[in-house]
């Protein structure tokens, strides 16, 4: 080989090395999504591919099948946050298609908070599409409540003689309701400029908090039946997911609440109180227990998802100091990722219920996936 040829070869090798270095430094576009969003996309894609049959759900399948009910609504709420975080048009289309198929409507329970939850999705699709006609059903629904507001007791009492929901569920008499309904009411005020919806949500939220929040423990009882109950060791019973609903609901409320609203400091103080308590209850593996005061290490991903979501949002919004709360978020997120199978199916989700219960690795549910998407969307924003 002559000198000129050797120089050319050296230059070629240097160029090849440089290109390889650049390739290592700059991953392909498909790999540039942050790992939390990549994990969330796998979970979302698995769930979207399994919406035609719910044979993998072991209990309460009819509740799961309701396209407007709270189970699917929670997944789609999570999908709105993932769509915002990833800008992936597939998720926007899935949300718009779901709304169009359902006519932006609600199920047949005109006052039940579980049925209000899908309204959070319709508010999102209306805002993204600019189609205010999508708001007509939620406006009609909430106006009917405001025209004749319920004054029933928040005590979780009996069901009507002919069957149906307990009387108190005409209001928000259980902790889950604080995720399902208030953010939809607050969001409708934001979308329409009509303050009546926010005023109703504010009043009812604090009525429920007065009834169910334990100021000594900084946690919520699931409903009034649990206030006097104790576990076998004499501990108060605070359901993990039940408090997850509230903590996640606070994020949704605060995200839509005007910065100058008179109640905002009160919501923020409650959020901080709960956060300070929750980080003391995280298990060694990163999951939160199904019964928060009972030390245990069985994985459970729905409550954990909501807690990671709330804590990460608190850091991102400046309400919580990262130095104090970031370790719990990182530990919780790592635990959530371990619960995702190779195919994207999320496991260890406690099934539908009203109290702490057993959970196994194969248990999955749409609300667990929704909480995972919410958590990932906030974890991805941490610096």
Contact 39, 337 (CB under 8 A): yes
Domains of the chain: 33-157+165-379 (1.50.10.10)
Contact 325, 279 (CB under 8 A): yes
Rounded Cα gap, residues 283 and 304, in angstroms: 10
Q: Where are the alpha helices (H) located in the chain, listed in sequence order?
A: 3-25, 35-48, 61-65, 70-86, 89-102, 113-116, 118-129, 136-147, 177-180, 182-192, 195-212, 240-256, 264-278, 301-317, 322-338, 366-379
Q: Is the pLDDT of residue 370 over 90?
A: yes
Rounded Cα gap, residues 224 and 226, in angstroms: 5
Q: Which letter does DSSP use for residue 172 in this model? A: -
Question: Minimum mean pLDDT among 59-63, 89-93, 293-297, 373-377: which range?
Answer: 293-297
Question: Minimum mean pLDDT among 4-8, 115-119, 149-153: which range?
Answer: 4-8
Q: Is the pLDDT of residue 334 over 50?
A: yes
Sequence-ordered list of residues with C-beta below 8 angstroms from that of 341, at least 6 positions apart, any chain: 347
Contact 290, 307 (CB under 8 A): no
pTM value is: 0.91
Contact 370, 325 (CB under 8 A): no
List, for residues 159-206, the tens digit of each pLDDT value.
889 888 999 999 999 999 999 999 999 999 999 999 999 999 999 999
Contact 346, 301 (CB under 8 A): yes
Task: Please report which confidence band the pLDDT of residue 211 belongs to, taking 50, 70 and 90 as the band edges.
Answer: very high
Question: What integer best gives the mean pLDDT of the chain?
Answer: 93
Q: Is the pLDDT of residue 137 over 70?
A: yes
Rounded Cα gap, residues 170 and 114, in angstroms: 11
List, for residues 268-283, the tens digit of each pLDDT value.
999 999 999 999 999 9
Q: Is the pLDDT of residue 217 over 60?
A: yes
Task: Please report which confidence band the pLDDT of residue 4 belongs to, taking 50, 70 and 90 as the band edges.
Answer: very low
Section 131-150 average pLDDT:
98
Task: Please report which confidence band the pLDDT of residue 34 belongs to, taking 50, 70 and 90 as the band edges.
Answer: low
List, for residues 56-107, the tens digit of each pLDDT value.
998 999 999 999 999 999 999 999 999 999 999 999 999 999 999 999 999 9
Instruction: For 19-51, give the DSSP string.
Output: HHHHHHHS--GGG-S-HHHHHHHHHHHHHHTTS
Section 297-307 average pLDDT:
97
Distance of CA 172 to CAs 162, 205, 361, Å? 22, 8, 32
Q: Which residues are catalytic?
A: 176
């Amino acid at each position: 080989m002559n000198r000129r040829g050797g120089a050319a070869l050296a230059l070629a090798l240097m160029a090849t090395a440089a290109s390889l270095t650049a390739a290592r430094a700059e991953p392909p576009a498909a790999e540039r999504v942050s790992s939390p969003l990549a994990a969330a996309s796998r979970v979302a894609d698995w769930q979207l591919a399994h919406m035609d049959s719910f044979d993998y759900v072991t209990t309460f399948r009819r509740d799961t099948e309701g396209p407007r009910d709270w189970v699917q609504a929670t997944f789609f709420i999570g999908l709105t946050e993932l769509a915002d975080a990833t800008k992936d048009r597939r998720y926007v289309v899935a949300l718009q298609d779901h709304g169009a198929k359902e006519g932006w409507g609600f199920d047949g329970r005109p006052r039940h908070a579980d049925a209000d939850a899908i309204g959070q999705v319709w508010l999102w699709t209306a805002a993204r599409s600019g189609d205010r006609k999508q708001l007509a059903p939620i406006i009609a629904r909430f106006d009917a409540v405001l025209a004749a507001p319920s004054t029933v007791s928040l005590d979780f009492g009996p069901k009507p003689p002919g069957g149906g929901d307990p009387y108190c569920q005409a209001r928000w008499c259980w902790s889950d309701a604080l995720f399902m309904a208030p953010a939809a009411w607050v969001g409708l005020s934001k979308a329409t400029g009509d303050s009546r919806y926010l005023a109703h949500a504010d009043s009812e939220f604090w009525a429920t908090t007065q009834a169910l929040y334990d100021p000594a423990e900084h946690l919520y009882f699931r409903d009034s039946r649990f206030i006097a109950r104790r576990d076998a060791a004499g501990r108060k019973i605070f359901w993990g997911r039940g408090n997850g609903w509230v903590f996640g609901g606070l994020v949704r409320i605060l995200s839509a609440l005007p910065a100058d609203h008179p109640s905002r400091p009160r919501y923020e103080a409650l959020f901080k109180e709960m956060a300070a308590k929750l980080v003391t209850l995280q298990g060694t593996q990163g999951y939160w227990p199904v019964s928060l005061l009972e030390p245990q290490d069985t994985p459970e991903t729905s409550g954990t998802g909501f807690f990671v979501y709330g804590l990460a949002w608190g850091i991102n919004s400046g309400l919580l100091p990262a130095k104090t709360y970031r370790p719990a978020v990182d530990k919780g997120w790592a635990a959530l990722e371990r619960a995702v199978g190779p195919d994207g199916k999320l496991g260890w989700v406690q099934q539908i219920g009203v109290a702490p219960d057993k959970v196994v690795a194969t248990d999955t549910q749409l609300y667990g996936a929704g909480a995972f998407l919410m958590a990932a969307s906030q974890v991805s924003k941490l610096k």
